[in-house]
Amino acid sequence: MPMYKKSLLVLFCIALFASVSTFYYLYTQEDTTPIITDNMQTQTQDKQEDTTITVYVSGEVNSPGLVELPSDSRIADAIKACGDFTPLADKTKINLAQKLTDGMQIQVSSKTPVNNSNEQVNDTNSNIPNNNSSSNLININTATKEDLDTLPGIGPATAQKIIDYRQEHGNFSSIEDIKNVKGIGEAKFSKMQDKICT
């Protein structure tokens, strides 16, 4: 074979190899590019998921429930996301600076009434004639069945008779009038007269 033909053949082989190599490289790049993109999207999604947390807020807030917040949020942020505190919220029992964790529950308690119930009871009692005054006398016009039952010689049945008599005839004018109740005679009256009043 002439020398120039050999040279042409060698050049042709080199060109063919270069073409095949270029085509293979481009084809490989096209196949791998989407895979890299998918991986990057997945990593981005994972990062986004890692940067948010969900917490549950209950109690004295205006809109209790689940809230989604950035992972570096604090309890104050969760309270604000739920519409802030109600007027009854006890802010002293919650640490607003505490960092949140995913799945955390925040319970906002209400203020404890400051002796309102006791004051009302005391006021009510002060307006009622004393069943048990400082002298420990039982007022037979206002005493309950339980109070009357504590008197000597008076049991539950007789205590009920005293209450029935009051409802039918009105209040006793004097302690001696209690002897008008059926079942209470002079003997029973003498035992209780120093323990009752009207």
For the chain, percent of residues with pLDDT exceeding 70:
72
Beta-ladder partners of 56: 66, 105
Q: Please check the confidence at residue 134 and state whether its pLDDT lies above 50.
A: no
Amino acid 45: pLDDT: 60
Residue-wise pLDDT tens digits, 150-173: 998 888 999 999 999 999 888 898
In this prediction the pTM is 0.37
Q: What is the mean pLDDT of residues 35-54?
A: 65
Radius of gyration of the chain (CA): 46
Rounded alpha-carbon distances, angstroms, from residue 124 to 33, 117, 128, 129: 84, 11, 7, 10
- Residue 85 structure tokens: 């505190």
Cβ contacts of 41 within 8 Å, gap of 6 or more? none
Q: Specify the pLDDT at position 49.
A: 55
Residue 94 Ramachandran class (φ > 0 left, ψ -120 to 50 alpha, else beta): beta
Q: How far is CA 141 from CA 91, 101, 181, in A?
A: 48, 64, 13
Cβ 60 vs Cβ 108: under 8 Å: yes
Q: How far apart are the first and last CA of the chain?
A: 148
Cα 64 to its chain centre, rounded Å, is 10
Please write the tens of the pLDDT for every residue from 65-106: 999 999 999 999 999 999 999 999 998 888 999 999 999 999
